[in-house]
Structure formats: structure tokens, C-alpha cells
Amino acid sequence: MKLHLLQQFLDLNQAFENVVCGLEHMEKITLFDKEHLRYIRAEVEATRADASREFFDKFGEMVQKDAKWAYKFCRDHDRKTKDPFDLYLEIKDREEVRKRKGLPQRVVLLPDWDKDDEEHYDREHTQKRITNTRKKAVRKRIPRTAKRASPVRTGVALALERKP
């Protein structure tokens, strides 16, 4: 939240209050025209009301923007952390409610489905893929019968051999 803005608004209102109190004290002194001071005090109060209205309109927009961001953040976080099996259970419950109301099914659910079935299946297929990959990686070496060419001598190697 924008606490510094609220503090500034409080300071502004205290300043308006000080002006109003000063005008009230001046009204008690016979030196000043009471009617004119009351008019000035009403103007100050009207200005304070306008400033408050403007502040809360803008502040309300800021709070609404922050609330919108917070809602989206929480919704995205909930989607990321939600267990897929919970979705299955929610759909199953909704379909049972539809069935009790006499409405047709929207989704066909597999009977006795369990999330562990898919995890077991995924583990088995991952293990098979790893095994197949290893089999392809291990190949029999075929011995070479051709002679290897002698390494090419560089100028530096030749120069080293010539030194006595």
C-alpha cells in the first residue's frame, strides 16, 4: 500500500485543520469581520473537501490496480501449484451433480481411474527409453586391418631431429 501518500494526505488535512482553528480564533476577536471570516472558513472547508475527493478518487484507482495485480498473481500461483488430480476430482464431482439433476454428461470419465496409474506408466516408459538409448550407444568395435599412416613430420620436429 502507498503509506507515504496517506501520511502526506494526513499532513494536508492537519494543515487545513490548523487554518480552520486559526480562523475560528480570529472570529472571537472583534477586530475582524465575523461574516467575512466565516466565508473564508467555508472556502477552506470546501477546498479541503475537494482535495479529499480528488485524493480518494486517485487513491481508489491505485488500490484497484494493486488489487487487480494481486488477484492475477494469486490466481497464477494457484494454477502453478494446483495438483492435476484435484481437477479430476472437481470434474468428477460436477458430473455427479449433473447426473443427479438429470442432465447429460459433458465429460466421460474413466471408471476406477487413478493418477498413480499414469505415473507408473510414465516411469516404465522412461525406463524403456533409457534402456533403448543405452543399447544404441553401445556398439561393437570392428577391428581395422589397414595400416595407419605415419604421422606427418612438421618443420619443428625435423629441426629438432637434425641437431647433434
- Whether residues 97 and 70 share a domain: the answer is no
Residue 68 and residue 63: Cα distance in Å, rounded?
9
In a domain, 148, yes or no: no
Look at residue 58 in the predicted model and tell me its pLDDT: 87
Domain that holds residue 25: 3-81
Per-residue pLDDT of the chain (164 residues; tens, 9 = 90+): 578 888 998 999 999 999 999 988 888 887 888 889 889 999 999 999 999 999 888 888 888 999 999 999 999 998 888 777 777 788 889 999 999 999 988 888 777 766 666 777 777 778 777 776 666 655 555 666 655 555 555 554 545 555 55
Judge if 90 and 77 occupy the same domain. no
Inside any domain, residue 138: no
Measure the N-to-C terminal CA separation of the chain; round to a whole number of Å: 87
State the angle between helix axes of 3-28 and 34-81 in degrees (0 to 180), rounded to the nearest 10: 170
Residues 117, 57, single domain; the answer is no
Task: With 0.75 as the threshold, say if the pTM is over it.
Answer: no
**Euclidean distance between CA atoms 74 and 92, whole angstroms:** 25
Same domain membership, residue 57 and residue 88: no
Domain count, the chain: 2
In a domain, 38, yes or no: yes
Do 7 and 26 share a domain, yes or no? yes
Kindly state whether residues 52 and 93 are assigned to the same domain.
no
